[in-house]
Structure 1
Amino acid sequence: MERKVRDATEAGNSAGAGGSRRSSYEAHLERSRRVWDRWSDYYAMSERDLEPMREAAIDRLALESGDRVLDVGCGPGVNFERLRDAIGPEGQLVAVDYSPEMVAKAWDRVEQRGWENVEVRRADATTVEFEEPFDAAVATLSLSVMPDVRGAAENAYGLLAPGGSFAVCDVRPVPAGPLRLANPLLRRFFRWYANRNPDGDVLESLRAVFDECAVLETYWCGIGYAAVCRRAGSSDA
């Protein structure tokens, strides 16, 4: 099966938007850097509260010893221990984040624990490239804040080996029911707190790009969710 990407017409329209679109992308990326640098000292406060959601999604990846895994928007490394336990010392964990302060704290975590098979890199997850593919990837509370959500999903797809899986935990406005009345306030809060991209729909992008995608669990009236997506293997094509 061919990789699902935006068609040439859509790409051409994006290019035709010229510098204004690129300027908007860069402005969003820079604001995300500032926001997450600011919150880097306090992120650990929510680490334990969100642990069940993160770990449920990671467990569905069915990682094995020796696997190569990518952590997209790793923050201070809250997923590292769970992922490393799954892949063992023979596996490799590579993590990327755009915030220099988050990257520094992730490296601190790695060095304090003496993990030799964990690498942290400062990079834009929408454009980062690697020579070797990954068996699996995970993104927790990161895709929705990226300046090009669809582009980030496409890049994650391209970085996976055939048959690879992508676990995603994120938040959204209330999807259904009377509590949707609170969505305008939620959107403002998400924008202020995390620089959430109001124009990007994470689940819609994942479903458009990946060959399989399923929401596993929802939390807090559907605001939080965990999903696992899969790139088809060569035998599935």
Structure 2
Amino acid sequence: MATERGGRDSESDAPMTANDRYEAHLERSRAVWDRWSDWYGMSERDFEPIREAAIDRLDLQPGDRVLEVGCGPGVNFERLRGEIGPKGELVAVDYSPRMLENARERIETHGWENVELRHTDAARAAFDEPFDAAIATLSLSVMPDVRRTVENVFRSLHSGARFAVVDVRPAPSGPARVLNPLVRRFLRWYANWNPDGDVVDALATVFDECEVVDTHMAGISYTVVCEKRDAG
């Protein structure tokens, strides 16, 4: 089995390649989120106002086509579908089969016919048609390659589309920074958080316009809204 970081493969004692590390992180994320799939209620309730505010900033319209990155058990589906209506389309991707099982159960319970689930790596997912908006809540920072995932979302959007991101990080400033070693350790244990992936920097680098529009818990939780402008 490959070592977590640093790494050498314990079977061959050969240095791990970048692809080896990518695949190892992806597999750990699958295992972690499969494990938490039946215990997501607290996160769903605690972050609901933050998620709702992020969706508000997308300015969705009936008939819009929306991408959700790392949908988990589908906690955003009802609100998103309420905005885009029955003629819109929501495509939701996640790499955890157990999370997708819960999301599918939610869809079937409500009888939603315009919500499509895909079991795929968000950095590699391919889509036939562009989206009018995208959202990622508590998912980008656990991706094995944050920049690559953001680039894929960017390519998948119409010009003028917005991407709203809710995520967590160590405290960026202030007295709460003294707790950052514990925060990092907790995030890696709980969520397989990627310590090498700077979500805000990746978004600002890839998108034409980005702004941190809201922060909570001494800046540990934050919301970023980005926009893909018209070319030229």
TM-score (norm. length: structure 2): 0.92
Matching residue of 1:8: none
How far, CA to CA, are the matches of 1:141 and 1:89 in structure 2? 26
1:90-143 Cα distance to aligned partner (Å, 9 max, x none): 100000000000011101100000000101110000110001000000000000
Matching residue of 1:52: 49
C-alpha contact 1:164 1:233 (8 A) present in aligned 2: no
Q: Which residues in structure 2 correspond to 1:1-237 (within 5 Å)? A: 20-234=17-231, 237=232
Return the letter of the residue paired with 2:169: R
C-alpha contact 1:94 1:118 (8 A) present in aligned 2: yes
How far is 1:19 from its partner? 6.2
How far, CA to CA, are the matches of 1:48 and 1:89 in structure 2? 25
Deviates more, 1:112-121 or 1:42-51: 42-51
How far, CA to CA, are the matches of 2:108 and 2:174 in structure 1? 46
C-alpha contact 1:187 1:198 (8 A) present in aligned 2: yes
How far, CA to CA, are the matches of 1:229 and 1:89 in structure 2? 26
How far, CA to CA, are the matches of 2:16 and 2:46 in structure 1? 41
C-alpha contact 1:145 1:195 (8 A) present in aligned 2: yes
How far, CA to CA, are the matches of 2:86 and 2:209 in structure 1? 30
How far is 1:227 from its partner? 1.1
Matching residue of 1:9: none
Q: What percentage of residue pairs aligned between the two structures are identical?
A: 64
TM-score (norm. length: structure 1): 0.90
Structure 1 vs Structure 2 CA RMSD = 1.0
Return the letter of the residue paired with 2:41: A
- Greater relative contact order: 1 or 2 (C-alpha under 8 angstroms, separation 6 or more)? 1
How far, CA to CA, are the matches of 1:61 and 1:119 in structure 2? 20
Deviates more, 1:44-53 or 1:71-80: 44-53
Matching residue of 2:12: none
Aligned residue pairs total 218
C-alpha contact 1:210 1:231 (8 A) present in aligned 2: yes
How far, CA to CA, are the matches of 2:74 and 2:47 in structure 1? 13
How far, CA to CA, are the matches of 2:229 and 2:152 in structure 1? 15
How far is 1:49 from its partner? 1.1
How far, CA to CA, are the matches of 2:62 and 2:217 in structure 1? 33
1:55-79 Cα distance to aligned partner (Å, 9 max, x none): 1011000000000000100000000
How far, CA to CA, are the matches of 2:99 and 2:157 in structure 1? 24
Return the letter of the residue paired with 1:174: A
C-alpha contact 1:133 1:159 (8 A) present in aligned 2: yes
Return the letter of the residue paired with 1:205: A
